[in-house]
Amino acid sequence: MDVLEAIKSRHSVRAYLDKSVDAEIVKEIIEISKQSPSGVNSQPWKVYAIMGNARDELVKEACKNFDAGSWETEEYQVYPKKDEMPDWYKSRQRACGFGMYGVLGIEREDREKRLAQARKNYEFFGAPVGLFISVNKAVGPNGWGHVGHFIQSICLAAVGKGLGTCLQEAWAGFPSTLKKHLNHADDEIIWCGISLGYEDKKEIINSFVPGREDFESFAKIIE
């Protein structure tokens, strides 16, 4: 697939077919993604691919924690604080939420159905593979940006392999649980999870693709 087409066709997939992904394909996606750029070639990322029984055990514990409301202390701030959140951020966040729940036919007041949808994060939305991307604690915002390059490469490589992905910062709510199952080093922070699998195109939620801002609102060509 052409890289431009991959960029345009990539979207968050929140429902997957009950179909396994070969471990060699997962390895190939990760292997090619290491070509991502990073300052001084620092490559401040690590990847943990979880599947099979290991995936199922993590899902079981995470969903148990979610159901009990047993949240853990986040290692980084996922969203801006409410009193510091700019209007443009609020409007885009609301539009995204309303759009997704609107496609599903879930009303704003229906807390039970909203929670049920949120819970699917911790089931990888049914995907057979979960990827967890860590960033080394020694790097600052610049290094986090480099890890972002790597994450985008994974998403595009997955598209090239006919797979869908969904980035999940929701996992930031369970850092201790992840530590138990991934056994990553103490100098790493798990930035996000990525659901990876074959998209179920019959599921209506996968028809939701939020719009993007017009060129003039975020870009300027200076000559």
pLDDT in tens, 98-109: 999 999 999 989
Phi, psi of 222 (to 5 degrees): -110, 120
- pTM score of the predicted model: 0.96
Establish if 35 belongs to a structural domain.
yes
Establish if 150 belongs to a structural domain.
yes
If one counts every other C-beta atom within 10 angstroms of the C-beta of residue 101, the result is 18
Give me Rg for the CA atoms of the chain: 18
89 pLDDT higher than 90: yes
Split into its structural domains, the chain has a count of 1
Report residue 15 CA to chain centroid gap. 13
Establish if 102 belongs to a structural domain.
no
pLDDT in tens, 124-182: 999 999 999 999 999 989 999 999 999 999 999 999 999 999 999 999 999 999 999 99
Domain range spanning residue 140?
Answer: 3-79+122-208
1 pLDDT higher than 90: no
CATH number of residue 43's parent domain: 3.40.109.10
**CA 107 vs CA 34, 101, 112, 115: distances in Å:** 42, 7, 10, 12
Establish if 162 belongs to a structural domain.
yes
Establish if 27 belongs to a structural domain.
yes
How does the average pLDDT of the chain come out, rounded? 96
- Position 22 scores a pLDDT of 98
Establish if 13 belongs to a structural domain.
yes
pLDDT in tens, 179-207: 999 999 999 999 999 999 999 999 999 99
Establish if 96 belongs to a structural domain.
no
Establish if 117 belongs to a structural domain.
no
If one counts every other C-beta atom within 10 angstroms of the C-beta of residue 32, the result is 15
Q: Which helix (H) or strand (E) holds 202?
A: none
Report residue 53 CA to chain centroid gap. 21
Q: What's the average model confidence in pLDDT over 57-78?
A: 97
